[in-house]
Amino acid sequence: MQKKKIISRLLQMLIVLLGISFMAFLLTYLAPGDPITAMYSAAGVTPKPEQLEAARKAMGLDKPFIVQYGTWLINCLHGDFGTSFSNKQNVLSLLMLRFKPTVRLAFFSMLLMLAISIPLGIISAVKQYSWCDNLIRVLNFLGISMPGFWLGLLLQYIFALKLHMLPVASSTLDMKRMILPCVTLAVAMTSKYTRQVRASVLDELSMDYVIGARARGLGKWRILFAHVLPNAMLPLITLLGISFGSLLGGTAVVEMIFSYPGLGEMGVRAVRGRDYPLIQGFVLWVALIYMLINLLVDISYSLCDPRIREKR
């Protein structure tokens, strides 16, 4: 991608981010009940009316909406996302604290998913319409309809409660604890990717260059691995970027089931507890990460595919 194009994409991103910040702020403004009461109830205190009034003044809630938004936005730009209502910690540091476990979970589940879906997709495409292919396709169909939260519960029931092989939830962040959430997320994604791999390998196999390579006497496996696969993997990049971006936003449901200390779990807790600064910070952060990843994907895509580089 040209420098100019990247810069214009970044500018567009800024505009969208501004919109998102406005929306995040508006959300808490629209909420029934006021944030001060929410703050006190999150802290578990019943405030006196004078206290409410004083706190409202101190937080600038008596000012007009636009002024409030402006102040908040300027603070955000200085890296100050405010203080969480429920545990009085800095929102940014809370986000950072939760980000690392989420990155680990996202990374390993993507790895596991690729390890399953690429071979399955290739087998399915190479042996099209064989019993192998049919079996894989039926499994895909079932996988797409499988609710992630139910799968998580079933895995928890079987492997943690019945077989006692893995912990239901533990306080340390070790590999053992990550296995079940990882598998749940990976299985949930596998169907989509297996389908995609199958479709793009089939696409490539029908190209003329495959016939050419065969005519030149290249072996079947050589054609598949040296020529077809690199081309077939290209469309996966975009899809991978989107999945990775959404995993980094924290997968609320799976993280909740396994009480995994990631962003999604924190987000759900924040929403439940009406912890407004934390919700705003979380929403902004997730959107930022998601958009950045998508931009990186587009850039890397043009690096990997010479045709797009030439076309400009």
Partner 1 sequence: MKWKEALKSRRRLIIFGTLALCILLIAVLAPRFMPYDPVKAPLKDALQAPGGAHLCGTDTMGRDVFTRVVYGARISISNTMLLLGVVLVLGSFLGVIAGFFGGTVDTVIMRVSDIMIAFPDLILAIAIAGILGPNMINAITAIAVVSWPRYARLARSLVLKIKNRDYIYAAYITGSRNSYLLRQYFLPNILPTVIVTAATDVGTFMLSLASLSFLGFGVQPPTPEWGYMLSEGRTYMQSAPWLMIYPGIAIFIVVSVFNLFGDAVRDLFDPKADVTKNL
Among 245, 261, 262, 281, binds partner 1 (CB under 8 A): 245
Site string for partner 1, 3-22 (x = CB under 8 A): ---------x--xxx-xx--
DSSP sequence for the chain: --HHHHHHHHHHHHHHHHHHHHHHHHHHHHSSS-HHHHHHHHHT----HHHHHHHHHHTTTTS-HHHHHHHHHHHHHTT---B-TTT--BHHHHHHHHHHHHHHHHHHHHHHHHHHHHHHHHHHHHTTTSHHHHHHHHHHHHHHHS-HHHHHHHHIIIIIIIS--S-SS-SS--HHHHHHHHHHHHHHHHHHHHHHHHHHHHHHHTSHHHHHHHHTT--HHHIIIIIIHHHHHHHHHHHHHHHHHHHHT--HHHHHHTT--SHHHHHHHHHHTT-HHHHHHHHHHHHHHHHHHHHHHHHHHHHH-HHHHHH-
Cβ at position 276, least distance to partner 1 in Å: 8
Among 101, 241, 262, 267, binds partner 1 (CB under 8 A): 267
Quick one: which segment of 50-58, 89-97, 121-129, 252-260 binds partner 1 (CB under 8 A)? 252-260
Cβ at position 80, least distance to partner 1 in Å: 21
Number of residues that bind partner 1 (CB under 8 A): 49
Q: Considering the rule CB under 8 A, would residue 169 count as an interface residue with partner 1? A: no
- Closer of 154 and 296 to partner 1 (Cβ): 154
Among 272, 296, 304, 309, binds partner 1 (CB under 8 A): 272
- Closer of 9 and 56 to partner 1 (Cβ): 9
- Binding residues for partner 1 restricted to 108-167, rule: CB under 8 A: 141-142, 144-150, 153-154, 156-157, 161
- Binding residues for partner 1 restricted to 173-212, rule: CB under 8 A: none
- Closer of 163 and 175 to partner 1 (Cβ): 163
- Closer of 60 and 147 to partner 1 (Cβ): 147
Task: Summarize as ranges the residues that interact with partner 1 (CB under 8 A).
Answer: 12, 15-17, 19-20, 23, 27-28, 30-32, 141-142, 144-150, 153-154, 156-157, 161, 245-250, 252-253, 256-257, 264, 267-268, 271-272, 274, 279, 282-283, 286-287, 290-291
